């Protein structure tokens, strides 16, 4: 019994440590990328090329003094960031990094991620309310309203993906994209989902909850030192999680272009014009099989690198959007959700099943 | 556009022109959603007319044998 518990703990550590390291490096990537877009250097002092800046920041924040405002509700004040971080990291439990390579690849994985990301709202609400500060309270109200509104967008977009794949399991969703990635039939939904995930993670241009010019720093105005680190990690953790989820739902997750297919394509052209002969194919195929098919470590590495690369491209898009667009007003944010995105999604929710039914292409498990 | 907001039941075409300019997201959402039921009405008969019949459903169980069943009289099989 203890053996299985220890194995489970090791599995959790194996996922969480790289995830947290990745989150730390996303912060550096963001600062360097934005610096490059704004023609400055960015962090370049701590470590080679500024690569250790995140750890220096974390160390500084960990060594800082705790400050809690007078008459703040101390328990909720410190519990809020903890709740946010825990629910942000819980989402990583169902992410498949390869075929059946997840901590728990259970059948309602998509529901689970949606539920967990909704629960993170409570941490923000509690932290903002308990700080006994107008800025923090207004920030938490804004953030809660925004998250609840844009969750509808995300869940409606996910509903369309589920209609196409017929499963709530993330692995089944990925495997059903072997023929074609969902981004091609569902490009408008992908764009809406991306906008929704930018808003869901409180990122610019939808970062009204922490608008410096109006609310100092929003719901985390009074938080400093370690609890601020928790908020910071939770924010970037949910960004990375949303990017991984987007790459799973729309970009095929760990599926990469089959290198043998690419080879076959070029080989058939070169063979037909008489440039190479069959021996070349046999030698290539032998090495291909030995390196990629019979070697599970390299196969796993390719799966991991593929989902990492797709998520990194999406994270870059998040940063690019932040560097490019000015912040919008809060009423515009709400109106955009309720009067633009949701009507479009509801229209697609009516259209897509009609198309699937009339062309008899409903997924097998729905029939 | 000048003048009062047109009413749908009085002047439908004018209302559609107004809505396409002033409420584009709602208008085009209705148009996109309207294509769904239109698909249901138009596409299946056209498909059948062109010979594109629905594929038979994938069997989810083993097929039931059509040959006559052997009547069992005892508990065990015939071993002698």
Residue A278 reports pLDDT greater than 90: no
Q: Hey, is A8 helix, strand or coil?
A: helix
Q: How many CB atoms lie within 10 A of CB A341?
A: 23
Name the residue facing A354 among B30, B36, B58 (closest C-beta): B36
Mean pLDDT across A261-275: 78
What span, in angstroms and rounded, lies between the C-alpha atoms of B33 and A102?
38
B76 pLDDT band (50/70/90 cuts)? Answer: low
Q: Which residue has the higher pLDDT, A360 or A295?
A: A360
What span, in angstroms and rounded, lies between the C-alpha atoms of A189 and A176?
17
Instruction: Find how far residue A206's CA is from the centre of its chain.
Output: 17
Burial A258-280 (b: 16+ CB within 10 A, else e): eeeeeeeeebeeeeeeeeeeeee
A vs B, Cβ pairs < 8 A, gives 52
Size of chain B in residues: 80
Residue B79: predicted pLDDT: 57
Residue A280 reports pLDDT greater than 80: no
Do the Cβ atoms of B25 and A360 come within 8 Å?
A: no
Q: Which of A104, A7, A14, A85 is nearest to A304 (CA)?
A: A14
Residue A136: predicted pLDDT: 86
Q: H-type helices in chain A, by residue range? A: 2-37, 53-63, 74-90, 109-130, 134-165, 170-175, 187-200, 212-215, 225-250, 259-272, 278-288, 296-324, 330-335, 342-358
ipTM, 2 decimals? 0.73
Q: Which two tokens stand for residue A327?
A: 């912040």
Does A282 lie at the interface with B, CB-CB under 8 angstroms? no
Question: Each residue of A81-129: pLDDT tens digit?
Answer: 999 999 999 999 999 998 888 888 888 999 999 999 888 888 888 888 8
Residue B30: predicted pLDDT: 93
What span, in angstroms and rounded, lies between the C-alpha atoms of A336 and A352?
23
Name the residue facing B39 among A339, A348, A355 (closest C-beta): A355
Burial B36-56 (b: 16+ CB within 10 A, else e): beebeeebbeeeeeeeeeeee
Phi, psi of B70, rounded to the nearest 5 degrees:
-80, 130
Q: Which two tokens stand for residue A157?
A: 């977009």
Partners of residue B59 in chain A, C-beta under 8 Å: none
Residue A365: predicted pLDDT: 62
Does B73 lie at the interface with A, CB-CB under 8 angstroms? no
Does B65 lie at the interface with A, CB-CB under 8 angstroms? no
Does B45 lie at the interface with A, CB-CB under 8 angstroms? no
- A332: Cβ contacts below 8 Å, ≥ 6 apart: none
**Single pTM value for the model:** 0.86
B78 pLDDT band (50/70/90 cuts)? Answer: low
A250 pLDDT band (50/70/90 cuts)? Answer: very high
A74 pLDDT band (50/70/90 cuts)? Answer: confident
What span, in angstroms and rounded, lies between the C-alpha atoms of A133 and B2?
48
Do the Cβ atoms of A351 and B44 come within 8 Å?
A: no
Q: Which of A40, A39, A41 is nearest to A49 (CA)?
A: A41
Mean pLDDT across A305-331: 92
Q: Which residue has the higher pLDDT, A354 or A224?
A: A354
Q: Which of A188, A209, A231, A212 is nearest to A334 (CA)?
A: A209
Q: Which of A346, A354, A362, A366 has the most B C-beta neighbours within 10 Å, making it the best mutation to test the interface with B?
A: A354
Do the Cβ atoms of A354 and B37 come within 8 Å?
A: yes
Q: Hey, is A47 helix, strand or coil?
A: coil
Burial A122-145 (b: 16+ CB within 10 A, else e): ebbbbbbbbbebebbbbbbbbbbb
Residue B73: predicted pLDDT: 72
- A269: Cβ contacts below 8 Å, ≥ 6 apart: none
Mean pLDDT computed over every residue of chain A: 87
Q: How many CB atoms lie within 10 A of CB B21?
A: 10
What span, in angstroms and rounded, lies between the C-alpha atoms of A275 and A302?
30
Residue A367 reports pLDDT greater than 50: no
Residue A197 reports pLDDT greater than 90: yes
Does A343 lie at the interface with B, CB-CB under 8 angstroms? yes
Mean pLDDT across A326-348: 91
Instruction: Find how far residue B71's CA is from the centre of its chain.
Output: 46
Does B33 lie at the interface with A, CB-CB under 8 angstroms? yes
Structural domain spans, chain A: 1-63, 65-255+298-359, 256-294
What span, in angstroms and rounded, lies between the C-alpha atoms of A240 and A197?
11
Mean pLDDT across B33-40: 93
B59 pLDDT band (50/70/90 cuts)? Answer: confident
Do the Cβ atoms of A359 and B28 come within 8 Å?
A: no
| Whole-number percent of chain A with pLDDT over 90 | 44
A284 pLDDT band (50/70/90 cuts)? Answer: confident
Q: Could you tell me if A230 and A82 are in contact, meaning their C-beta atoms sit under 8 angstroms apart?
A: yes
H or E segment to which residue A252 belongs: none
């Amino acid at each position: 019994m203890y053996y299985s518990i220890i194995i489970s703990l090791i599995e959790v550590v194996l996922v969480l440590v790289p995830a947290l390291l990745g989150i730390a490096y996303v912060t550096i990537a963001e600062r360097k990328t934005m610096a490059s877009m704004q023609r400055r250097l960015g962090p370049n002092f701590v470590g080679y090329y500024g690569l250790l800046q995140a750890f220096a920041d974390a160390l500084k924040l960990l060594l800082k003094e705790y400050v809690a405002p007078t008459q703040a509700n101390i328990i909720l004040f410190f519990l809020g960031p903890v709740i946010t971080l825990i629910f942000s990291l819980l989402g990583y439990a169902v992410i498949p990094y390869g075929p059946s390579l997840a901590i728990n690849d259970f059948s309602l994985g998509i529901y689970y991620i949606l539920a967990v990301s909704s629960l993170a709202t409570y941490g923000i609400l509690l932290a903002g309310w308990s700080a006994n500060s107008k800025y923090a309270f207004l920030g938490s109200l804004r953030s809660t309203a925004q998250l609840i509104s844009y969750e509808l967008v995300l869940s409606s977009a996910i509903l369309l993906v589920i209609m196409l794949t017929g499963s709530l399991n993330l692995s089944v969703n990925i495997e059903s994209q072997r023929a074609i990635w969902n981004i091609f039939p569902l490009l408008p939904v992908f764009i809406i989902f991306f906008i929704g995930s930018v808003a869901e993670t409180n990122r610019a241009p939808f970062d009204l909850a922490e608008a410096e010019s109006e609310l100092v720093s929003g719901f985390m105005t009074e938080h400093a030192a370690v609890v601020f680190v928790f908020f910071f990690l939770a924010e970037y953790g949910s960004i990375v999680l949303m990017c991984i989820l987007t790459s799973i739902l729309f970009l095929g997750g760990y599926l990469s272009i089959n290198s043998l297919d690419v080879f076959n394509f070029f080989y058939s052209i070169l063979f037909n014009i008489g440039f190479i002969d069959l021996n070349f194919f046999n030698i290539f195929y032998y090495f291909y099989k030995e390196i990629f098919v019979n070697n599970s470590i390299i196969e796993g590495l390719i799966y991991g690198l593929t989902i990492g690369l797709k998520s990194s491209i999406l994270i870059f898009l998040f940063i690019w959007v932040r560097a490019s667009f000015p912040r919008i007003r809060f009423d515009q944010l709400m109106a955009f959700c309720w009067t633009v995105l949701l009507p479009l999604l509801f229209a697609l929710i009516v259209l897509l099943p009609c198309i699937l039914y009339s062309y008899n292409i409903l997924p097998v498990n729905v029939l | 556009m000048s003048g009062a907001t047109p009413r749908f039941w009085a002047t439908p075409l004018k209302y559609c022109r107004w809505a396409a300019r002033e409420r584009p997201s709602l208008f085009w959402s209705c148009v996109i959603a309207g294509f769904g039921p239109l698909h249901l009405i138009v596409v299946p008969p056209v498909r059948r007319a062109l010979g594109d019949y629905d594929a038979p459903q994938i069997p989810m169980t083993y097929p039931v044998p059509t040959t006559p069943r052997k009547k069992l009289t005892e508990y065990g099989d015939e071993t002698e």
